[in-house]
Amino acid sequence: MFKIIKKSEYRTTKWSGGETTELFIYPVDSEYKALNFDIRISLASVEVDSSNFTPLSGVNRILTVLEGTEHSLKINSEPFQTLEVLNPIHFSGEDDVKSTGKALNFNVMLSTDLNCSVDIIKPSSSPFTIDPNGTNLFCYLYKGFQCEVNDLEWNEGDSLLCNNIISIKTPPNSILVCVGF
């Protein structure tokens, strides 16, 4: 399986603190509001100074700040923790989570029955290969222009979904956010 998902295919909606753009949801006929997904991957802009995360029973979350230098989370009774850009943080959807600071976040929500990893890839050479070893791999091209995947055009903001070895050509300073599940 190999598919490029163009950014024009994403769905963007408003939430109380900004916008969320759904990049991928599985199964494909599932819905965020019904919480009947196995995995949901999205971008969320945080455009307010403080907000509370919606509690999500039966869901684990992985959040990665893509942009924003003063974005902090308070999880349950722990003190506020300033999040580092491109450093994923894991927490339960059932946790009481408060945030401060404006940011652009990459969010993974997954059923507690599912395991996944989030990896930030900054290629040191091009072309390079990724082997998902038979698992599913979702990659979001956060930074990088005129990239190619298996000789197909891949633009900044596009994503790909695969479960086999892929060859990627990228310019210097490209950044991919990849989710294996």
The residue segments making up the domain with residue 169 are: 117-180
In a domain, 175, yes or no: yes
Gap between the terminal Cα atoms of the chain? 14
How does DSSP classify residue 150? T
Query: Are 133 and 87 within one domain?
Result: no
Query: Are 18 and 94 within one domain?
Result: yes
pTM: 0.95
In a domain, 65, yes or no: yes
127: which residues sit within 8 A by CB, 6+ positions away? 148, 167, 168, 169, 170
In a domain, 5, yes or no: no
Query: Are 41 and 92 within one domain?
Result: yes
Query: Are 90 and 146 within one domain?
Result: no
Give the pLDDT of residue 133.
Answer: 86
Query: Are 105 and 132 within one domain?
Result: no
In a domain, 129, yes or no: yes
In a domain, 1, yes or no: no
Question: Which pair of tokens denotes residue 105?
Answer: 């976040």
Query: Are 62 and 123 within one domain?
Result: no
Structurally, how many domains does the chain consist of? 2
For the segment 142-154, what is each residue's pLDDT rounded down to a tens digit? 998 878 998 889 9
**Residue that is written with structure tokens 């992985």 in the block:** 62
CATH number of the domain bearing residue 20: 2.60.120.10
Query: Are 37 and 61 within one domain?
Result: yes
What's the pLDDT band for 134 if we cut at 50, 70, 90?
A: confident
Query: Are 102 and 173 within one domain?
Result: no
**Residue that is written with structure tokens 């509370």 in the block:** 52
Alpha carbons 5 and 138: distance in angstroms, whole number: 10
Residue 165 · residue 110 · CB < 8 Å: no
Query: Are 100 and 123 within one domain?
Result: no
Query: Are 69 and 133 within one domain?
Result: no
For the segment 44-86, what is each residue's pLDDT rounded down to a tens digit? 999 999 999 999 999 999 999 999 988 999 999 999 999 999 9
Give the pLDDT of residue 113.
Answer: 86
Query: Are 41 and 121 within one domain?
Result: no
